[in-house]
Amino acid sequence: METALTRLVGVRHPVVQTGMGWVAGPRLVSATANAGALGILASATMTLDQLRDAVREVKSRTDRPFGVNLRADAGDAGDRVRIIVDEGVRVASFALAPSRELIAGLKEAGVVVVPSVGARRHAEKVAAWGADAVIVQGGEGGGHTGEVATSVLLPQVVDAVDIPVVAAGGFHDGRGLVAALAYGAAGIAMGTRFLLTSDSTVPDAVKARYLAATVKDVTLTTAVDGLPHRMLRSELVDALERAGRTRAFVRAVRHAAGFRRVSGLSWSRMIRDGLTMKHGRDLSWSQVLLAANTPMLLKSSMVDGRTDLGVMASGQVAGVIEDLPSCAELVERVMTEAEVALSGLPTDRLCTQPGVHLCYDRDAEHPRGPCATGRDPE
C-alpha cells in the first residue's frame, strides 16, 4: 500500500512504531523495520554513547529505514542530532516541536523530520518551519496526551497542513488504518500495540498486566508528573493520587536522583533541561521535578518488571488487545485486515484497488474515498 508516508521514508507499509522510552530499543525497532514498517528508536533515556551504540545495533540487524526520537528541548539535542546524521539515520522524530533551525539543519543533512503534535496550531507551526510530516496524537494515546479525540483532531490537522499526516492514538488494527486513510492521513502510528509484541523487551509479567486490562483500567492522571499522562491504573497510581504535595515532592527528588545516575546527566544539566521544560508552560518547580521523576517510574516497570514501583504508560487500546504477535505477524495482520476492510466497502461508490489516491463516482463531482491507481479514475 503506497502512500505519501511510504514514499517519504521508504518503507513498504504505512505503519509507524512510536519511540517509547525504555521500550523502543534496537530489538523492537529492527523487528519493525524488517516487517516493512517504520520503527522509531527512543533516545531520551539514553546517554550519547548509548544512543550511538543503539543506532549501530539497529543497523546491524536491518538494512531498512528507521528513525530516532529526540527531545527537542534537551540541552544536548545538538549532539544527538550529529549522531543520527553521522550514522545515516533516515528519520528524526520529536515529542516536542523542534526549532526552525534544528529542522533546517536536519533537512540539509538529508534527514526526514517528523515531529509529533497534539494540536492543530502546533502542526501548522512545524509545517511552516519545514517539517516533512507530522504525527498527530489524539487523547486516546498513551503517555503524555491531550484532551481532543483522534477522530476530531486528525481531520483538523489534515485540513490545516499540506504535508503528510500520520494518525496516532487509538489504533491497533487494519480497520483503524483504513479509517485514518479515509480521514486523509498517510498512515498510522502505534505504541501500545507494538509494546505488546513478542519482539518487545518489556518483561512478561508487565505484558500480562496490559493484556488483562480492560478499557476502563486505562486512566488519565496528573499525579505522576503534573501533566496529563495516560497509563494503566495501578496501586502506585492510586497512591500517588492520594499523596499530599510534600510526599510527592520527596518521591520526585529521590527518583530524579536515580535518573541522574542512570542517564549520566549532571544536576546542572537537569536543571537547565528543567528550565527549558518550564519555559512557555504554566508549570511550578514541583511539577518540573515531578516530570524528572517520570523516566525512573517508567523504567521500574518497563525494564525492571516492578509494577508495584513503576507506572505503565498505555493507550486506551490496551483494553482491546489480547495477544503478543511478532512485529512481522502484527504488520502483516494489519495490512490484511485493511485489505478486507476496503473490500467490504460499497463497490459502487468506492474503488477497491489498494492505495490512497482519490477515487470518484462515475457521475459525481467529489471524491468518495481512497484509490490506488495514482491516475485520474475513469
- Give the tens place of pLDDT for each residue, 61-108: 999 999 999 999 888 999 999 999 999 999 999 988 899 999 999 999
Claim to verify: residue 176 and residue 307 sit in the same structural domain: no
- Position with higher pLDDT, 217 vs 226: 217
Which residues contact residue 172 at a Cβ distance below 8 angstroms, ignoring those fewer than 6 apart? 190, 192, 193, 317, 320, 321
Cβ-contact 300, 309 below 8 angstroms: yes
Claim to verify: residue 324 and residue 191 sit in the same structural domain: yes
Claim to verify: residue 147 and residue 188 sit in the same structural domain: yes
Of 122-126, 270-274, 363-367, give the lowest mean pLDDT range. 363-367
Claim to verify: residue 86 and residue 191 sit in the same structural domain: yes
What range does the domain containing 20 cover? 4-202+320-335
Claim to verify: residue 41 and residue 118 sit in the same structural domain: yes
- Enter the DSSP assignment of 313: B
Claim to verify: residue 8 and residue 92 sit in the same structural domain: yes
Length of the chain: 378
Cβ-contact 102, 72 below 8 angstroms: yes
Q: Is residue 110 included in any domain, yes or no? A: yes
Claim to verify: residue 289 and residue 229 sit in the same structural domain: yes
Claim to verify: residue 89 and residue 164 sit in the same structural domain: yes
pLDDT of residue 372: 46
Claim to verify: residue 102 and residue 236 sit in the same structural domain: no
Reading the block at residue 69, the C-alpha cell is: 526520537
Q: What is the DSSP string of 169-202?
A: SS--SHHHHHHHHHHT-SEEEESHHHHTSTT--S
Q: Is residue 364 included in any domain, yes or no? A: no
Average pLDDT over residues 228-242: 90
The label of the residue with cell 468518495 reads: 368
- Position with higher pLDDT, 16 vs 239: 16
* Among 49-58, 354-363, 368-377, the range of highest mean pLDDT: 49-58
Whole-number CA gyration radius for the chain: 20
Using DSSP's 3-state secondary structure scheme, residue 15 falls into: strand
Cβ-contact 168, 149 below 8 angstroms: no
pTM, 2 dp = 0.86
Mean pLDDT, the chain, whole residue set: 87
Per-residue pLDDT tens over the stretch 165-205: 999 999 999 999 999 999 999 999 999 999 999 999 999 99
Q: Is residue 101 included in any domain, yes or no? A: yes
Q: Is residue 342 included in any domain, yes or no? A: no
Claim to verify: residue 12 and residue 149 sit in the same structural domain: yes
Q: Which of these, 122, 228, 106, 102, lies nearest to 165 by C-alpha position?
A: 122
253 pLDDT tier (thresholds 50, 70, 90)? low
C-beta contacts of 147-153 below 8 A and 24+ residues apart:
147/228, 148/118, 148/119, 151/183, 153/118, 153/119, 153/120
pLDDT of residue 224: 82
Q: Which strands, in side-by-side order, build the sheet including 143-144? A: 143-144, 229-232, 218-221
Of 285-289, 302-306, 330-334, 343-347, give the lowest mean pLDDT range. 285-289
Domain boundary among 267, 282, 313: 313
Q: Is residue 156 included in any domain, yes or no? A: yes
Domain boundary among 313, 347, 365: 313
Q: Is residue 352 included in any domain, yes or no? A: no
Which residues contact residue 212 at a Cβ distance below 8 angstroms, ignoring those fewer than 6 apart? none
CATH code of the domain covering residue 70:
3.20.20.70
Claim to verify: residue 181 and residue 282 sit in the same structural domain: no
Domain count for the chain: 2
Domain boundary among 267, 283, 313: 313
Which residues is 219 bridged to in the sheet? 231
pLDDT of residue 269: 63
Alpha-carbon distance of 297 to 299, in angstroms, equals 5
pLDDT of residue 247: 66
pLDDT of residue 79: 95
Claim to verify: residue 240 and residue 92 sit in the same structural domain: no
Q: Which of these, 206, 160, 200, lies nearest to 183 by C-alpha position?
A: 160
| Distance in angstroms between the alpha carbons of the first and the last residue of the chain | 21
Q: Is residue 289 included in any domain, yes or no? A: yes
pLDDT of residue 346: 82
Alpha-carbon distance of 53 to 148, in angstroms, equals 37
pLDDT of residue 53: 98
Q: Centre a 10 Å sphere on the Cβ of residue 29 and count the other Cβ atoms it contains.
A: 30
Q: Is residue 262 included in any domain, yes or no? A: yes
Per-residue pLDDT tens over the stretch 277-329: 555 566 666 666 666 678 888 998 999 999 988 899 999 999 999 999 999 99
